Chains A and B, each alone.
Chain A
């Protein structure tokens, strides 16, 4: 089952497996993000958090042994013909997450834990039940929910009714099987909730597929609440949302850059190493839809690099060595920035 979901990550052109997996596992180094950009999977950033890299690489080995994947260059794999067929089949039979992009900018996992407790507390409270086992003993989560209850200043029965209405509104937008999976997984008064294994048996799917479904529904719910900010759970979600997937320090560097583009000056102003400033700018260039490349890359460099790589359409496979052979003074930073710009143009083309 994991193998099926892993197979869906590959295509007919080579992809760096480790890079793609690290994007899904939420690693935010520039080289990982760049791999995500070239494999066009950045919107899955952090969606498979906590899944072990070795496990995933072992799955790739199995897929290769089964002749569904083939390795073209060291560390990269692509679909075989059989792999393509299998992938097409999976795309119609296997549940395909719709809203995993929420993981990029929202701490969905935290909201999952907080909302789980919040719903339980309200459900028990609405039934005037005081003795129950809380779903989590995490003191941070408990404190957050307590604070939320206090500031909402509404009787439990009223909150119960509002939660019923808001969930009902959200769930009617879903397919009824999905709505059932969502509700059956909840914990509350006299209803402990079903485990993934139990839901898998009931809906005749694999537990991992149920896991994907429930994660995806959580994302969909989070995005729905974001659109309905008068709903009672909005105050629990609001602090978990970031404006952008770009890290805070990279964002600050970018703001300084907007005032003046000289990286040396930025490094001095931000008291950072030059290499760090460059990493920050690359991160921003990868994650920001309308990064002003022209303010950094001189038209001379653009012309030179365009000439060097004009015969090579697969941007991801460009080698820095090739550029350096002709432009010995060129820093890797400019090469990578140019590469990112071309990737973006490809994607938007």
Chain B
């Protein structure tokens, strides 16, 4: 297929004139029969790549994705773009629906699936019956123990890929160091895959860090930011409880329309909040960072971290939601000395001492069920017969990785020099030279006017409508 034909397809099917950076290169390689590892910054329309390849190539596109909520959002997004033959195979489906889906795979074009689900024999068997156009590993960095987001179930993907007849494979990630990239290729057993890497830098996002003395000062700083800087805004938190509390506090102390967004919400409420945000009916969303948000809102102006992100790689992903329209945007970390201990205690939740590991192996030997989150993870290794020593090494190595990642992050937070340079150096990239609209050095005020972000959110007065009027708006087009 020629480039001209691809451009034509892009226009007809998606209404775009231009590919975004990296899209065309990845698509061309895939169509030429190559496996591809693509490192593309968030907001570059990664799903368009496999959508377009799926349109051109016969067979099913299988997308492996780590989060159910993310999968459901992706299905909704593809539906939105007019793709009807899309489904997510998740543990939330009832038995009958799952069976019907598996027996009718040939009627589908796109199937989203978690690695655990893909590992099930019935799913494997059903997939072996249909031709595959493409296997997509989304968030591919999860496969690497060198990376901070390691997921043990991703470890089995290499073997599963072989069982599926080694289909053409696209590995997608937004951030990966050289070491993580190598590990992805080794684990998935695709040593000859083409690597297409684009800079993680998003030059239109100003990088700020505000150091504050205590929690009260942090709250005030947050309130000042959301009431003086242009919106819409996302504020990230580590805990669900804090997310709810601060959302309620902002809602009651400002005129802004604020909502909390986290895994504790029902699917229905999550959907409604996303759609309200997209429709401009919400100004600020307070969200837990651990919880994926599949929306693609181009005009988010501000991303604030009320708590530290877990790693610098996560940070790059999370601020990547801002400024997808290429207009200036702002990313700010609100930091109180000692905040890093919260990250440390989260890391400890998934840690285990050599003693605990040995004891858990005994538990497995006695055929007792896993009791903790850590023993769920260990279970994965015991089931595959991995020896205790190897697992102990692996866990020790993971702990060191996490401590190293935290140091990298704190280095970014505390640096007296250009933050963008620190960030890019971590991904083995060079930064452009520092300017006034690049990042916030210690003592700098936020250059809101220079960024064009000094016009605060103007909340429109809400007209009061009766239920009969609303009902008419919903169902009568000429109302």
Contacts and interface: CB of A to CB of B under 8 A. Distances in A.
* A and B together in one complex: yes
B279 interface: yes
A136 to B, nearest CB: 7
B100 interface: yes
Contact of B259 (A132, A179, A191, A198): A198
Contacts, number: 115
Interface string B65-81: 00000011001110111
B470 A184 contact: yes
Interface in B462-477: 466-468, 470-477
A171 B471 contact: yes
B279 A137 contact: no
Nearest to B472: A164
A133 B87 contact: no
Contacts of B88: 137
A131 B82 contact: yes
Given A126-B476, A133-B77, A182-B467, A192 B279 contact: yes
B280 to A, nearest CB: 11
Contacts of B275: 133, 187, 192-193
Contacts of B101: 139
A126 B477 contact: yes
Contacts of B274: 133
Interface stretch (B91-99, B364-372, B380-388): B91-99
Nearest to A182: B467
B18 interface: no
Interface stretch (A155-163, A252-260, A308-316): A155-163
A197 interface: yes
B476 A164 contact: yes
A125 to B, nearest CB: 10
A53 to B, nearest CB: 19
Chain B contact residues: helix, strand, loop or mixed: helix
Given A126-B475, A190-B279, A191-B470, A140 B93 contact: yes
B269 interface: yes
Interface residues on B, range: 35 or more
Contact of A137 (B75, B260, B278): B75
B259 to A, nearest CB: 7
Contact of B87 (A139, A179, A197): A139
Interface string B443-479: 0000000000000000000000011101111111100
Contacts of B259: 195, 197-198
Given A192-B272, A195-B273, A140 B94 contact: yes
Interface in B235-270: 251, 259-260, 265-269
Chain A contact residues: helix, strand, loop or mixed: helix
A180 interface: yes
Given A133-B77, A134-B79, A140-B94, A196 B269 contact: yes
Given A164-B472, A187-B271, 16 more contacts: A126-B477, A130-B82, A132-B80, A133-B79, A133-B274, A137-B72, A137-B75, A137-B87, A161-B475, A164-B476, A180-B466, A189-B473, A191-B474, A192-B272, A195-B268, A196-B269
Interface of A: 116, 119, 122-123, 126-128, 130-140, 157, 160-161, 163-164, 167-168, 171, 176, 179-180, 182-184, 186-198, 201
Interface of B: 71-72, 75-77, 79-82, 86-88, 93-94, 96-97, 100-101, 251, 259-260, 265-269, 271-276, 278-279, 281, 466-468, 470-477
23 contacts: A130-B82, A131-B80, A133-B80, A134-B80, A135-B271, A137-B71, A137-B86, A139-B87, A139-B97, A139-B100, A160-B475, A161-B476, A164-B472, A167-B475, A171-B467, A180-B470, A182-B467, A183-B467, A192-B272, A192-B278, A192-B281, A193-B275, A201-B251
